[in-house]
């Protein structure tokens, strides 16, 4: 049983640590937007902080559940971490129970970065669906989101669209269901509150 579950946990721990470092180095500026309210810099910083904190919490949890030599991820290189965890999984009979008790602490619930990628794809598809709906309801110049899923108020305004116009707001309201929950009235209000008149 450990053999089947071990690759998931190792992939999650090592890949999330690497992803967190990558996210810290790749964050760029952004502005409040319709689909992406927080800036990418804030998102990258939050991802890095949350990922690192989650990995430390996971390591503490594993130690508290009987895997006393489980390493702190901030003190070991990813390859050494992977080898150490593999070794502990083989020699420590408490490893499976500890892993089961602690996996909720891993970033993305321990599901690994592939599910995060799939969630990003789904969000992008939902935002594209929203943009298509906006165009089909008469806001013909409404832009598609970027490949990263960014759709800012500034992008919409750059197309000559008055984001505060009642007619545009009615179409936004009508098209929210096309986003399958990616956009909500609260997110739209927040984005518009940050937009210039």
Q: Would you call 152 helix, strand, or coil by DSSP? A: strand
| Contact (CB, 8 A) for 76 and 31 | no
CB atoms within 10 A of CB 167: 11
Between 8 and 151, the higher pLDDT residue: 151
Quick check: pTM over 0.75? no
- For residue 183, the model assigns a pLDDT of 85
Q: Bin 92: left if φ > 0, else alpha if -120 < ψ < 50, else beta.
A: beta
Rounded to whole angstroms, the Cα distance separating 97 from 118 reads 28
- Report the chain's mean pLDDT, rounded to a whole number: 74
- pLDDT tens per residue across span 164-189: 999 999 999 999 999 888 888 988 88
Q: What is the pLDDT of residue 176?
A: 93
Residue 192 reports pLDDT greater than 80: yes
pLDDT digits (tens, 9 = 90+) for 11-44: 444 444 443 433 333 333 443 344 433 333 334 4
Cα–Cα distance, 10 to 156 (Å, whole number):
42
Q: What is the pLDDT of residue 104?
A: 84
Burial class (CB in 10 A: 0-12, 13-18, 19+), 99: buried
**Choice among 121-135, 147-161, 166-180 with the minimum mean pLDDT:** 147-161
Longest dimension (CA), the chain: 66
First to last CA, the chain: 59
Quick one: which of 65, 63, 49, 64 has its CA closest to 16?
49
At 73, list the tokens: 């991820």
pLDDT tens digits, one per residue of 53-103: 888 888 999 999 999 999 988 788 877 888 888 888 889 899 889 888 888
pLDDT of residue 99: 87
SS3 33: strand
As a whole number, mean pLDDT of residues 123-131 equals: 89
Specify the 3-state DSSP secondary structure of 15: helix
Give the per-residue pLDDT at 196: 60
- Count Cα atoms within 13 angstroms, Cβ side, for 27: 19
Q: What residue spans define the domains of the chain?
A: 2-111, 114-193
Helix segments in 40-178, DSSP class H: 40-64, 78-91, 95-102, 113-136, 153-158, 166-175
Helix (H, G, I), strand (E, B) or coil at 18: helix
Highest mean pLDDT among 47-51, 114-118, 123-127: 123-127
- In 10 A of CB 3, how many CB atoms? 8
């Amino acid at each position: 049983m450990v053999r089947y579950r071990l690759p998931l946990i190792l992939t999650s721990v090592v890949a999330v640590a690497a992803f967190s470092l990558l996210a810290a180095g790749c964050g760029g500026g952004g502005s409040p937007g319709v689909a992406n309210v927080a800036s990418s810099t804030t998102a990258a910083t939050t991802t890095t902080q949350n990922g690192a904190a989650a990995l430390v919490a996971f390591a503490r949890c594993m130690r508290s559940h009987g895997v006393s030599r489980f390493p702190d991820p901030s003190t070991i290189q990813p390859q050494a971490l992977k080898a150490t965890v593999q070794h502990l999984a083989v020699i420590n009979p408490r490893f499976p129970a500890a892993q089961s008790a602690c996996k909720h602490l891993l970033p993305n619930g321990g599901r690994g970065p592939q599910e995060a990628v799939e969630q990003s794809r789904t969000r992008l598809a939902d935002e594209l669906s929203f943009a298509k709906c906006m165009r089909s309801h008469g806001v013909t110049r409404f832009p598609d989101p970027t490949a990263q899923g960014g759709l800012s108020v500034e992008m919409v305004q750059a197309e000559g669209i008055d984001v505060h116009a009642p007619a545009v707001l009615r179409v936004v309201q009508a098209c929210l269901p096309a986003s399958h929950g990616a956009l909500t009235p609260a997110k739209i209000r927040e984005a518009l509150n940050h937009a210039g008149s």
